[in-house]
Structure 1
């Protein structure tokens, strides 16, 4: 056996071993078994969850609904739909769930018994009904403020004849005591 001196007082025996063809095969088999074990444990861990996706759309027009909320009732996992009405909820533990869809101006919809399977993507497209809100009629009455600058300018623009005028607010700003003094300016 060859000896190697390290430092002043330490000796390390170095052993050389010949690797035979049989030894290489055994090593290759061990590496293969190790890799299969690692890969299968990763797949088993991933396979305990599933995903769900789909599209939310208007039941009357068929138009996709952007920004609708899709939520699993049991665990509050959820997603909002994208520009095309699509949603995806990932990493859901396998089992049965209820799916709730809400969107402003539409009736909320609940879908029961949605099954999530290990390692699978479930697709559920959902149509929702628009709600109609009936309101009492509203009457809006507007009166013009006849002493404002904007009222005077509007009257001048809309007049067929050439006219001039001065608003009460202009008189008060100018410091004049009456309309005759303000008109002289």
Structure 2
């Protein structure tokens, strides 16, 4: 039988290793659970016009620094899933014809209801919008032009100018990538 003897240096190394394991275990157990479950909250709310309390459709809701967002439905409701607990900056609530709104919120449970959010109308300053067909696009079809007043645009404003014009008689919107424009 061989007897093993431990040296003072081995005892010190073993003691340091045991202390290190104890410290790591203590830190892991005392860490708040929201760090372990980083993305588990849901954010909901409703967006309305402050002018007439009507629900706003197609409002963009964006969470800054997380590249996640949503858009409101016909009733002004939105929902964003898989958010981390803690302080968040909602990058903005934005809709053409309304002033962008930013909120700082603190999510401390799995469901956060922001309730009713009001957006203030913002006057867009333009006299009219002209939509014209370019003859080089399709020479076999008849050409036409269309004009709408700034006042009518403001009254019928949707999420974008294209969405607003889409409901006008004789206008069909088709997107084929980035548009081109001339600066005057």
TM range (shorter): 0.3 to 0.5
TM-score (normalizing by structure 1): 0.45
TM-score normalised by length of structure 2: 0.45
Q: Which has the higher helix share?
A: 1
